[in-house]
Structure 1
Amino acid sequence: MATDTRYDALSGAAAPAADTARRFSVAPMLDWTTRDYRAFARCLTRHALLYSEMVTTGAILHGTPRGRFLDYSDVEHPIALQLGGSDPVELAECAAIGQQWGYDEINLNVGCPSDRVQNNMIGACLMAHPDKVARAVEAMQRAVDVPVTVKCRIGIDDQDSEAHLTQFIDTVAGAGCRTFIVHARKAWLQGLSPKENRDIPPLDYDRVHRLKAARPNLHIGINGGITSLEACQQQLQYVDSVMIGREAYHSPYLLADVDRLIFGATAPVPSRIDVMQAYRPYVEQRLAEGVRLHTLCKPMLGLFHGQRSGRAFRRLLSERTTVKGAGIEVFDEALQMMQAAAMPRPSVDTE
């Protein structure tokens, strides 16, 4: 279940509903969108929808302890659980467990192209089986009251025409799904690695835009290759929501302006120092739970990218947090270094 972990920047703030928060979301990314990354992201944005890493049905049903895959902190809301699987009965059971755990949305992965998940009938390979996805979604919806959504590609292999995408969307929508987040690249399931599938197939934003125009009654979100909030604002002229992936991890301060530019919030934009100070109590609590400092500081590595002393900050965290027994004093040293770097430099009297 959720852990009631609160800290000053977020204490008392009400989480927006998932349907509202979906206007901007951070993509599910294996090994990246961990609970610690998500807690850190909440120091930057209160409104964005955050996704878990993909969790397979097998991990939830047979893995122990279950909290290893599902635990999160209360501050992470609104938060979506992404499931990997294809069996309707198992997906329905896992969706119900996710709702019991307190997740605000259950998302089905129909976009991951890795060989490992294909062998278990998970991910992008399911785009070739829209009826199977429809049955799974229908079963999941019967099991929960929270939204059930689908994240997919624009196509796979040679099944990548506009007609193929429309047929897939219409079939799954016929089972009751109203929300689709579409990665605007097709996936090559044979011949390309998952990493290559993130870059080599060309982006086709227009296809997603046309899908939204043709299906105005559906919520259509877009994902893939979007790296700035300005690009997000442009996309929102054509689709209902935008999802950002790697850029939100490598350059996390991008998230600081999301609430103002995407959601129209009027709260002050936090500085990078504000973000570290807000995150510190969470780090201290998780250290007390036995979590390594390196794990907790990893999401912060790109926080001062391009800033004065940014490289020194990254080096300090990369080298010092891995030392056995490293504690909050290392975090504090990094914070003090960046506070000093932010101080105005004294003017030089040349007379």
Structure 2
Amino acid sequence: MRNQYLNREKVFAVAPMIDWTDRHCRFFHRQISRQTLLYTEMVVADAIIHGVRDRLLGHNAVEHPLALQLGGSDPAKLAEAVRIAAEYGYDEINLNVGCPSDRVQSGTFGACLMREPETVADCVKAMKAVARVPVTVKCRIGVDDQDPETVLPDFLSRAIDAGADAVWIHARKAWLQGLSPKENREIPPLDYGIVYRMKERHPDVFIGINGGIPDIDAAEEHLRHVDGVMLGRAVYHNAALLADVDHRIYGAAERAIDWDAVRDTMMAYAADHIANGGRLVHVTRHMVGLFAGVAGSRRYRQILSADATRAGAGPEVIAEAFAAVDLETSLQQTAPAA
């Protein structure tokens, strides 16, 4: 029987992004889409075992459905991290096999693990043995000089045989030598076709696609071939894209976003964060791209980029930024499509 990943036929997700998809970003995104699957930043298993767990794993209940992405290559440590994370109620645990940064290379995990499918299988088995929720893998189509047509089918088969409930595939190679993490998101060519073919080879396994997907129109096209679509930078830099997701991807009733309510909720959230020792910019830095292309958006960005960074800045800055935007136009432009 087909694995009903998170009990959904199709899944739309915001990709895990280091330094971006923190708890403040996720809370903000949830104000715009109720059903999008959100991911944490990658959290290293060692940090969970030895670090401040509430800081690393804590989140707001409204963020669900929410997946925790783990980094690591030691099956025992990953299993221990899964045990610890279970108390925090995540809806999914994801293993990072795609990040090309120097940090993960020095730790021999992330995209490096594309070269070690046996290790990935051992990690998945160990995580599955203790997990209460789906265990998934996010990978690349290969690294460096690997031939994806050879490497990816073998990698997927091993991960699936080990018990992975779903595999998300970033449809680019990762070049671990010679390209920066930013260049790895842009230079290696995209190959969506190979991801489609992997779905054809594994019709009973959830296969999702990631990499260079610009908008909801493109997401719907990909969902004709695969089970899930994951957007990263496109959503981060224009979160209003999420306004269409619940209706167009999940079939929910059309719902115009109440931007005044979003403003008020984020102001209250920011006030609480500040009262607990945080700074306004921790919250507002994720909101800068919200009204891309809307009249007044330049001034909106200026306010959030400059005023919110000042010492003592309070949530009234959010109100000032929203006041600069032609909200009537933005409501028309971001209402769910028919």
Structure 2-normalised TM-score?
0.93
Question: Counterparts of 1:297 and 1:47 in 2: how far apart (Å)?
Answer: 22
Deviation digits for residues 195-234 of structure 1 (CA, Å, limit 9, x no counterpart)? 1111111000000001101110111000000011000000
Matched with 1:11 is none
In the alignment, is the contact (CA less than 8 A) between 1:21 and 1:47 conserved in 2?
A: no
Q: Secondary structure at the match of 1:327?
A: coil
Structure 1 residue 110, shift from structure 2 partner: 0.3
1:157-196, aligned counterparts within 5 Å?
Answer: 157-196=144-183
Matched with 2:131 is 144
Matched with 2:76 is 89
Deviation digits for residues 52-110 of structure 1 (CA, Å, limit 9, x no counterpart)? 000001111112x2222111100000100000000000000101111211111000000
Percent identity (aligned): 51
Structure 1 residue 121, shift from structure 2 partner: 1.3
Consecutive unaligned residues in structure 2, runs of 5 or more: 330-338
- Which residue identity is paired with 1:318? S
Partner residue of 1:318 out of 299, 305, 321: 305
- Which residue identity is paired with 2:191? D
Matched with 2:95 is 108
Matched with 1:132 is 119
In the alignment, is the contact (CA less than 8 A) between 2:38 and 2:67 conserved in 1?
A: yes
In the alignment, is the contact (CA less than 8 A) between 1:160 and 1:186 conserved in 2?
A: no
Partner residue of 1:27 out of 1, 15, 19: 15
Question: Counterparts of 1:109 and 1:342 in 2: how far apart (Å)?
Answer: 39
Structure 1 residue 269, shift from structure 2 partner: 2.5
Question: Counterparts of 1:133 and 1:217 in 2: how far apart (Å)?
Answer: 21
Q: Secondary structure at the match of 2:39?
A: strand
Question: Counterparts of 1:282 and 1:121 in 2: how far apart (Å)?
Answer: 37
Moved more, 285-294 or 204-213: 285-294
- Matched positions, count: 325
Structure 1 residue 160, shift from structure 2 partner: 2.5
Larger Rg: 1
Partner residue of 1:261 out of 242, 248, 257: 248
In the alignment, is the contact (CA less than 8 A) between 2:10 and 2:223 conserved in 1?
A: no
Matched with 2:332 is none
- Which residue identity is paired with 1:210? R
Matched with 2:333 is none
Task: Please tell me the root mean square deviation across aligned C-alpha atoms, in Å.
Answer: 1.6
Matched with 1:287 is 274
Partner residue of 1:47 out of 27, 31, 35: 35
1:74 aligns with 2:57: no
Question: Counterparts of 1:284 and 1:237 in 2: how far apart (Å)?
Answer: 43
Consecutive unaligned residues in structure 1, runs of 5 or more: 1-16, 345-351
Matched with 1:251 is 238
Question: Counterparts of 1:82 and 1:329 in 2: how far apart (Å)?
Answer: 34
Matched with 2:228 is 241
Matched with 1:217 is 204
Question: Counterparts of 2:173 and 2:258 in 1: how far apart (Å)?
Answer: 38
Residues 35 and 114 of structure 1, relative CA distance in 2, 3 Å threshold: same
Structure 1 residue 21, shift from structure 2 partner: 8.6
- Which residue identity is paired with 2:13? S
Structure 1 residue 286, shift from structure 2 partner: 1.6
Q: Secondary structure at the match of 1:301?
A: coil
Structure 1 residue 271, shift from structure 2 partner: 4.4
Structure 1 residue 117, shift from structure 2 partner: 0.8
Matched with 2:45 is 57
Structure 1 residue 25, shift from structure 2 partner: 0.2
Q: Secondary structure at the match of 1:184?
A: strand
Moved more, 279-288 or 306-315: 279-288
Structure 1 residue 22, shift from structure 2 partner: 6.4
- Which residue identity is paired with 1:97? I
Question: Counterparts of 1:290 and 1:24 in 2: how far apart (Å)?
Answer: 34
In the alignment, is the contact (CA less than 8 A) between 2:10 and 2:250 conserved in 1?
A: no
Residues 230 and 246 of structure 1, relative CA distance in 2, 3 Å threshold: same
